[in-house]
Amino acid sequence: MAPSTKSAKGKQAKVTHKFIINASQPASDKIFDVSAFEKFLQDKIKVDGRVGNLGDIVQIKNLGDGKIEVTAHTQFSGRYLKYLTKKFLKKQQLRDWLRVVSTSKGVYELRFFNVVNDADEEDD
């Protein structure tokens, strides 16, 4: 039998996950709108299979300086947050220039793709 998150009395164990999405680099270049992204997350994150069901279970805070913190008091996947971030970038047509990179556990960063100039190759 697999271990469960329930305690001996049958109540759900307290689980808290904290994630930070760092978009300071594209936000400082005025490409990325952090407040629109925060609103997108509030509208799209599903809790118990329903959109707009955040309540006290999931909190989304804008930390300023292009950082957003998502705190979940339930099972919550960082990959789901990465998926929603990619979805937002696609909607804003920024997916060709930005990518989502996990820098450490629970921390995601939006970075520009490394574009190498092909000028020296054209001289041949």
Give percent of the chain with pLDDT exceeding 90: 70
Q: What is the pTM of this model?
A: 0.79
- In the chain, the percentage of residues whose pLDDT exceeds 70 is 81
User: Cβ-count burial of 69 within 10 angstroms (0-12 exposed, 13-18 middle, 19+ buried)?
Assistant: middle
Domain boundaries, the chain: 17-112
What average pLDDT is seen over the chain? 86
Statement: 17-112 belongs to CATH 3.90.180.10: no
The rounded distance, in Å, linking the Cα atoms of 62 and 78 is 17
pLDDT value, residue 4: 53
Q: What confidence tens digit (pLDDT) does each residue in 85-113 have?
A: 999 999 999 999 999 999 999 999 999 98
> Tokens 């960063």, residue?
109
For the segment 37-59, what is each residue's pLDDT rounded down to a tens digit?
999 999 999 998 899 889 899 99
| 63: enclosing H helix or E strand | strand 58-64
